[in-house]
Each structure stands twice: as C-alpha cells, then as structure tokens.
Structure 1
Amino acid sequence: MKKSLFLMLFPLVFASCEEFQTRKISSEEILIEETRDFNWHEVDNYPAFAECRNITEVEAAKACFGNKVSQYFYSRLEAKQPVVTEALDDTLYLYLKISEKGTPAIDSMEIDSLVLNQLPEIRSWLSQSVDSLPKIYPATKRGIPVKTTFRMPVVIKAE
C-alpha cells in the first residue's frame, strides 16, 4: 500500500517543481514599473502652514494653504496703502515656488503694464511679502519632501 502510494506521488513531485520556480526581478525593472505608474504632477500632501497641517483631505489642504497665502499677501499689500491716479481692477499671477525645505520664493510674475505703471513697486512688495511668510512645511510625495510651484492669482482693485 505504501509502495503504491509512493509510486503515485513520485511523478507528481517532479511535475509540480516547475510551478514553484519564481522569476527574479531586477531592481531596474521594479524602478521602471514604479516610475511608469508614478504621477509626477500630484503630491500626496500639499505645502502647509502650522494651522493647515492636520487637514488630511487633499483639496481642503490645498485650499487652506492657498487661502492663508492670499490673506497674507493681501494684508501686506494693504499695509503699503498705495496711491493710484486711475482706477485699477486687474489680476496678476504670481508663481510661488516652495522648496523641499519649505522655503518660499517667487519663480515668476505675470503683471499687466497698466498695473506696473500705477504701482511700480508691486514687484518688490510681493517679494517682501514672500520673504516674510511664516514657516511652511513642504509638500510630500510618498513621504519625501518635494518642491512645488503654484500659480496664485492676486486681484488688484484700487480706486
């Protein structure tokens, strides 16, 4: 009985060995697979100020950061109390770069010539506002701090 059971299982052992072979995957293949599926244009966590840091929903965190930056810029610009000769109602765009260390900097600005004529110091005012922003925690992707750039509209209304 034992001999017949052994003879029945013996061919099964050799046939099933091929099923247990695994293919080795190199680290380069894993990296290629990961980077193909990796979305480089989105972050897991947006940059944040201390009061926005505990927000877990991505869109709410983005909105909190954008609102805080806008409030800060508007309060700094209002403190300058600029005087204009013509009414202004325009939007300028500020490209705000946040480094992987959380350091803010202006990447570039889109400012209409009419605004520059009426407010020639607007560039320096915006630069000063960025330099004095409170501590920013950088954006992260898979737990790693990354640099990000935001296009921030700044509405200029003056009468």
Structure 2
Amino acid sequence: MRKAAVVLSLLLFGSCQYFDKRVPDEEELLQQRRAQIDMQTVSSYPSIGECDSVIDSEQRKECFFSSMARLVQERLDRDTLSLLYPEIDTIEIKVTIYPDASLTFEPQFPNDSVAYNKSKIDSLLRSRLADFPTVEPAQKEGIPVKSQFILPVIINVE
C-alpha cells in the first residue's frame, strides 16, 4: 500500500507541469483569429432565388451575375433609354448589396461623358429597378456583409 501511495504521489507531482500552461487572453485569441480570416474574399457570394438550387459555389456565382444582368437588361429594354441615347450600347451599373438585403444601383459614366444627362439616366434606372427581386447578401464566416460589383448591361436597340 505504501508503494502504491509513493508511486501515486510521484505521478501527481510529475504531472503538475501539464497544469502550468498559460491560457491566452481573449484579445490575443481575437487577433489570432483575425489574422486567419481573409478579408478580401467572401465565404459565399450573394444569391438570387433562381440560383438557390445550384450547389457548386463557382456555378452559383456565375448564375447570380448572369441572372442579375438579365433582370436589369429586361427592365431597361422596355424603357426609352435606348431611344434617348442611341450611342449608348452598354451601361455599367455599380450594384451595392447591403447586409440587410437592400440594393442600390448607380450608373457609372466615363469621365469625359458630358453629352449624357446623368441625372435623367439615374432617375430612369432608379424607377425601373425600384421593385427588384430579393437578393440574399454575401456572407463572410456566416455573417451577412456588404458587397459591391460593377455589372455591365447591354442596351438592346430594336
């Protein structure tokens, strides 16, 4: 019995080194986690209803961008934009998707474009794209984030 007590006490004293480790504080853990996260990319891209069934992330991204371009183009095709400005065949629109799933559309014009009535084109875009379908925002680590992209839209002249 004595031998067992001596062996047990030696094991207890010898194992104290395992309890002596320093526990990192909360700020240090936060800094380590931030260093691991790539803030330039998102975990999942924005999504629109018709692309929800696509599983592959690259195909889902392509589906989203093509669907967005198609929806914007359909809404602008039935407008007088092509009649007012026949020289415009493509318009670039900066799309911003906020974490609360709200959208903003801003037309992007070349710096030397003084021939366009920018406010008129902007108001046409806003009126045509006001009731746009719901878009799920991009996510980073499971948290909705703001995302922006330039969407080139071809204006059909009929």
Any unmatched runs of 5+ in structure 1? none
TM-score by length of 1: 0.78
- 1:84-123 superposed matches below 5 A: 87-89=87-89, 91-106=90-105, 108-112=106-110, 117=115, 121-123=120-122
3-state SS, counterpart of residue 94 of structure 1: strand
Could you tell me how far 1:71 is from its partner in structure 2? Answer: 0.5
Q: Figure out how many residues of one structure are paired with residues of the other and give that number.
A: 156
CA distance in 1: counterparts of 2:85 and 2:111, whole angstroms:
15
Query: Residue 83 in 1 paired to residue 83 in 2?
Result: yes
- 1:9-158 superposed matches below 5 A: 9-81=8-80, 82-83=82-83, 87-89=87-89, 91-106=90-105, 108-112=106-110, 117=115, 121-156=120-155, 158=157
3-state SS, counterpart of residue 109 of structure 1: strand
Any unmatched runs of 5+ in structure 2? none
2:92/2:150 contact within 8 Å kept: yes
Could you tell me how far 1:93 is from its partner in structure 2? Answer: 2.5
3-state SS, counterpart of residue 95 of structure 1: strand
- Letter of the structure 2 residue corresponding to residue 19 of structure 1: Y
* CA-based RMSD: 2.9
1:140/1:146 contact within 8 Å kept: yes
Deviates more, 1:47-56 or 1:70-79: 47-56
Distance 1:132 1:86, change over 3 A: closer
- Letter of the structure 2 residue corresponding to residue 33 of structure 1: Q
- Letter of the structure 2 residue corresponding to residue 67 of structure 1: S
- Letter of the structure 1 residue corresponding to residue 36 of structure 2: D
Describe the superposition over 1:65-99 as per-residue Cα deviations: whole angstroms up to 9, x where unpaired: 1111100111122111522686555x442211011
Could you tell me how far 1:53 is from its partner in structure 2? Answer: 2.1
3-state SS, counterpart of residue 131 of structure 1: coil
CA distance in 1: counterparts of 2:35 and 2:107, whole angstroms:
33
Identity of aligned residues (%): 26
Deviates more, 1:124-133 or 1:114-123: 114-123
TM-score by length of 2: 0.78
Deviates more, 1:32-41 or 1:74-83: 74-83
Could you tell me how far 1:147 is from its partner in structure 2? Answer: 1.3
